[in-house]
Structure 1
Amino acid sequence: MKKIIVSLLVLSLSACGWHLRGSATGEDKLAMTSPLDLVIATKDDHSPLINALRQSLPGYKINELTSATANTLTLNLSREVLDKRTAGVGSDALTSAYEIILRVDYSVSNAQGVITPRDTNARISRTYNYNVNNANGAAQEEELVLREMRRELANSILRRVKNLSVKAPATSAAP
């Protein structure tokens, strides 16, 4: 009887469209399995975001090239904006939490031209607690949160680029 109930719960869970984060289906699966050549164009070639992007490339089966060819996509990263603001104030009127907002403007192009609008951006925000009595620990926590945010932002951009690589030939073939 227990097995039947568990089986019904599993079937109803899969029937509602729920899936694990990162599990690809349909067109996403095709985009993730086919290799892609990509050129990363940016002003600061060694920024933390670019390093996070390069570390994530093998997981998405993306090869970085130094110059564009007919079958490559070019990722143009124009600027990274970091904004920090107070998210909470304690009873002592001191800041107890900060919100960090990280945004990067980018565009993706191929040999035919720009695929995405030039003002496309990826944005992520996080809140962390700040302890006035432990400023060193709070600074370390902020650095850890920023590193994690850059990694997530890099993965978000690479997912978008990978999906565009499947959709780009259809849009560029139209008259």
Structure 2
Amino acid sequence: MSFSRFLLIMCLSSVLVACGFKLRGDHSLPAGYKHLHVESMHSHAPLKRALNKRLEIYNIVPVVDMAKESHVHTITITLAPEKLERRLLSVFSTGQVAEYELILGVPYTVKFGDNDLIEAYFEVVRDYQDDPDQVLAKSRELELVLSEMRREAADRIIRRLSSQSTTRI
């Protein structure tokens, strides 16, 4: 490998590091925070379960008992009930619904240590084709699509946490 090629690679690498670029799979808590606590109005909410599973994948251990941990170094995520909407996209010639747009609204708040609450909201959108002749298969497919949407929502929450400071989400 020539010296000029090596120099070019080193310059590009230093530019990427200087601008704060991180690989997408590299999720960690912001600097200064050691613990993460997830709260929900319902203890077995599907989004809370999905978020806890995704935290395990990213090697972030959620705090279960907040009484034992310092609030100063803890991020608290409070999940509000998710909102699922279905919009009609198309119909068959018989007038039956052929396709829906599923919209999963995810409202939540984040508290970095003893700072103020930060409210956040985003939507995950998917198209879903309905077939009235295959009701059982389509109901199972709908469950899988909703599960995938919650998994994407959990990933988005983690990405936002790992890239945000206490000032904004």
TM-score category (smaller protein): 0.7 to 0.9
Structure 1 residue 128: Cα displacement: 1.3
Unaligned runs of 5+ in 1: 1-14, 16-24
Unaligned runs of 5+ in 2: 1-11, 13-18
Measure, in 2, the Cα distance between the counterparts of 1:150 and 1:115. 23
Letter of the structure 2 residue corresponding to residue 41 of structure 1 = E
Structure 1 residue 75: Cα displacement: 0.5
Q: Choose from 55, 59, 62 the match for 2:60.
A: 62
- Any runs of at least 4 consecutive aligned residues in structure 1 with deviations exceeding 3 A, and if so which? 25-31, 33-36
- Asked whether the 8 Å contact 2:28–2:162 carries over to 1, the reply is no
- Asked whether the 8 Å contact 1:122–1:156 carries over to 2, the reply is no
- Asked whether the 8 Å contact 1:80–1:104 carries over to 2, the reply is yes
- Asked whether the 8 Å contact 1:82–1:100 carries over to 2, the reply is yes
User: Would the alpha carbon gap of residues 146 and 90 (structure 1) be closer, same or farther in structure 2, given more than 3 Å must change?
Assistant: same
Structure showing the higher helix proportion among its residues: 1
Per-residue deviation, residues 46-90 of structure 1 (Å, max 9, x unmatched): 111111101000233322112152111110112211112222112
With normalisation by structure 2, the TM-score equals 0.74
Point out the more displaced range, 51-60 or 143-152.
Answer: 51-60
Q: How many residue pairs are counted as aligned between the two chains?
A: 143
1:32 — aligned with what? 27
User: Would the alpha carbon gap of residues 32 and 47 (structure 1) be closer, same or farther in structure 2, given more than 3 Å must change?
Assistant: same
1:150 — aligned with what? 150
Measure, in 2, the Cα distance between the counterparts of 1:36 and 1:95. 49
Structure 1 residue 132: Cα displacement: 1.1
Structure 1 residue 33: Cα displacement: 5.1
Per-residue deviation, residues 107-147 of structure 1 (Å, max 9, x unmatched): 1112232252x2x1121011111111111111111111001
SS in structure 2 at match of 1:107: strand
Measure, in 2, the Cα distance between the counterparts of 1:89 and 1:28. 44
Measure, in 2, the Cα distance between the counterparts of 1:33 and 1:54. 14
